[in-house]
A and B are shown apart, each in its own frame.
Chain A
Amino acid sequence: MLEIKNLHVRAEGKEILKGIDLKVAPGEVHSIMGPNGSGKSTLANVLAGREDFEVTQGEIIYRDQDLLDMDPEERAREGVFLAFQYPVEIPGVSNTYFLRAALNAVRKHRGEKEVDAMEFLKLVREKAKLLKMDQSLLSRPVNEGFSGGEKKRNEIFHMAVLEPALGILDETDSGLDIDALKIVADGVNALRNKDRSFVVVTHYQRLLDYIVPDFVHVLYEGKIVKSGDKDLARELEKTGYSWLQNGKPEIQPVGQ
């Protein structure tokens, strides 16, 4: 599905990612944890194609294609989806109608028939129900005036409608109360299957109780310094990240 090799990324002259290696197979869920500022969102955004970042070394292969050579919209149409840490508000653009344009762009790319207004409404209702989204959030402009939690839920709603092959979730759990967290996690789990993969960025074990990862990686100062299974997350919950500062962390390459 995804293979990141020796990825180095700079922004405004500062090196942020310093050699990331990560391999995600179809159907796997990888969680990325790590202290503030370690580069988690940078990695997520580079995968989605944000242009503020400069890739100085390395490559990313996504389904046998050179991901870095693709525009953000091409990536989306090929099945890459980013649930943003900070979703933007877009006044005047309807949350539902824009999503129809997006879905049809994706479908057209895949050589599928575009959905008409009726089919789309049916789909939207179904997915909104899955995520217990308030009807009013659908007709309002994208994220405008949404609460923090509503914005996060809306990201997963978009993902549920677009049904990507690779879902990248950047701190989707932050700002969610416990009920909302469960709904969002259920939404993600409903999408899990043997072909679809997820990269889940989070600070909290809590989310991983619901979305159980196959692998957990610790990102620190632009590098993956430790990888393990779901127990690593539990361990981190206890120890925090202070051990990272005490001398050299033990580096374990990812393998599968």
Chain B
Amino acid sequence: MTRAVMEKKDDLFEAMVEFGRSAELSGPTWLKERRAAALKRFEDLGLPTKRDESWRFTDTKVLKRTPFVPAVADASPGVDLSDLSFSTFGEDRLVFLNGHFAEELSSKNLPKGIRVRSLATALQQDADGLEPILGRYATSEHEAFNSLNLALFQDGAVIEVDPGCVVESPIHLLFVNRAADGPLLINTRVLAVCGDNSQVSLVESHLGLPGHPYLSNGVTEVLAGDNAVVDHYKVQQENSDAFHIATFQSHQGRNANVRTMTVTLSGAVVRNETNAVLGGEGGWAELNGLFLVGEDHHVDNFTRIEHAKPHCDSREVYRGILSEQGSGVFRGRIVVAKDAQKTDSKQTNNNLLLSDEALINTKPQLEIYADDVKCTHGATIGQLEKEAIFYLRSRGISESAARSMLIYAFATDVVGRIKVESLREELDRYLFSWLPKGEVVREAF
């Protein structure tokens, strides 16, 4: 019996297969072929269950029972975007409503040497240029959702930075999601191709508006040429009933520097798979994450760093703050290939549990095939320190402010790694409003 048959009862699975088969798969011939193959893979894989090693800690039952339908273009978000946190960073902003580019809400004031287009437009204008890249890096053969995205995506963002081009201000991709009439499947897709010696910062924010549940299913591919410096951030604040499942995939050349940070603020079930490949000597890859999990929400961070070439460094710092019945997962795989000598890799995952019912599963996984490497990893799970709370209270600070100060201090280790100042300030503002007595905390930092 194949997996597809076993999982046949999944509404989501059946609906998607049905949809994929009946819909005309759009795009140039090569893309149609790739989409058909992806759909086939999706059918073969079925939706993940807890029996899948990489999904062991994440329950997809509710997701599977929800009758999502693929989102079509939405004319208006129904709110003033500037009222939303994480909606405005500088001048260059591309807005996507339910995954579809909304030109009238976007603004571009780009310097020479960088092009930013919607994926639908890019496929019309320049299909041949995308052929060797699109969907070629975020392959994750085992990933059903990733395949589903490739099969069904309709739009997204394409960022191309010319070799040697240094882009000063960050490029902001704002994804606004809203399921007004019923559960929606929203595919988002980002492709960034950064030439040799180029430098650019990208900020993705994924914001959910109240409404029905939806599944935001994203794929981001980042290619960094030799010597390129790419700084990528993703902040997500999906609505409380939403699912967010995404794959980030970077591939970097010689001496390139790629940093990515995933900030998870809300969503019923969130899973971010973050994969980085160090594909040239002398590269630096940094994966950072901050996740706040409350209510009965669940956040799964599944990361993988592949050292394919010698003399590369990787750094990974993930911090989780879990409260109420929130649950979280951190999985950190580091793979060091046989000839990736002189690899220097460091991974840390620290978790703060604020309630007795909160839960975290943390698991490093090192696969080292080279012999001259330095790989360290460490994970901690702790609670707020009583001694520290008493010390702060003994100075006149209220108990709730003292707790909030310690929580904020815990988060700053990751927040401080944000190099886009406007984003760091926005995240600080968010934390100060999220934390009880945040105004006192603000004063203390």
Contacts and interface: CB of A to CB of B under 8 A. Distances in A.
Interface stretch (B185-193, B249-257, B384-392): B384-392
Given A71-B393, A84-B391, A93-B409, A105 B398 contact: yes
Nearest to B445: A97
Interface in B352-394: 385, 387-388, 390-394
A104 interface: yes
Contacts of A81: 394
A224 interface: no
Contact of A102 (B395, B408, B413): B395
A98 B399 contact: no
B405 interface: yes
Given A77-B396, A101-B397, A105-B397, A72 B443 contact: no
A99 B395 contact: yes
B399 A104 contact: no
Contacts of B385: 88
A174 interface: no
Interface string A84-101: 100110111110011111
Question: Which residue among B394, B397, B410, B440 has the maximum number of chain A CB atoms within 10 Å of its CB?
Answer: B394
Interface string A143-162: 00000000000000010001
B395 A162 contact: yes
A109 B397 CA distance: 11
Given A88-B387, A92-B410, A162 B396 contact: yes
A72 B391 CA distance: 9
A11 to B, nearest CB: 14
Interface string A196-217: 0000000000000000000000
A44 B310 CA distance: 59
Given A88-B387, A94-B445, A76 B440 contact: no
B401 interface: yes
A100 B444 contact: yes
Contacts of B440: 101, 105
Interface residues of A, number: 35
A88 B397 CA distance: 16
Given A93-B405, A105-B440, A73 B397 contact: yes
A106 interface: yes
A98 B413 CA distance: 17
B413 A92 contact: yes
Given A93-B409, A101-B443, A48 B392 contact: no
Contact of B388 (A75, A90, A101, A106): A90
Main secondary structure of the interface of A (DSSP, over half): helix
A105 B440 CA distance: 9
B139 interface: no
B335 to A, nearest CB: 32
A89 B248 CA distance: 37
A76 B410 contact: no
Given A90-B388, A101-B401, A48 B394 contact: yes
B399 to A, nearest CB: 7
Nearest to A48: B394
B197 interface: no
Interface in A17-74: 48-51, 71-73
A151 to B, nearest CB: 11
B444 A101 contact: yes
B19 to A, nearest CB: 48
A154 to B, nearest CB: 11
Contacts of A72: 390, 393-394
B396 A73 contact: yes
A105 B397 CA distance: 6
A235 B290 CA distance: 59
A82 interface: yes
Nearest to B409: A92
Contacts of A142: 391
A160 B69 CA distance: 65
A102 B445 contact: no
Contacts of B410: 92
A162 B388 CA distance: 18
Contact of A93 (B387, B413, B444): B444
8 contacts: A73-B393, A77-B396, A84-B391, A97-B445, A101-B405, A102-B392, A102-B395, A141-B409
Interface of A: 48-51, 71-73, 75-77, 81-82, 84, 87-88, 90-94, 97-106, 109, 141-142, 158, 162
Interface of B: 385, 387-388, 390-399, 401-402, 405-406, 408-410, 412-413, 440-441, 443-445
Given A73-B398, A82-B394, A88-B385, 10 more contacts: A73-B399, A76-B394, A84-B391, A88-B387, A92-B408, A93-B444, A98-B395, A99-B395, A102-B397, A105-B398
Closest 5 CB pairs of A and B: A92-B409, A76-B396, A101-B444, A102-B395, A72-B393
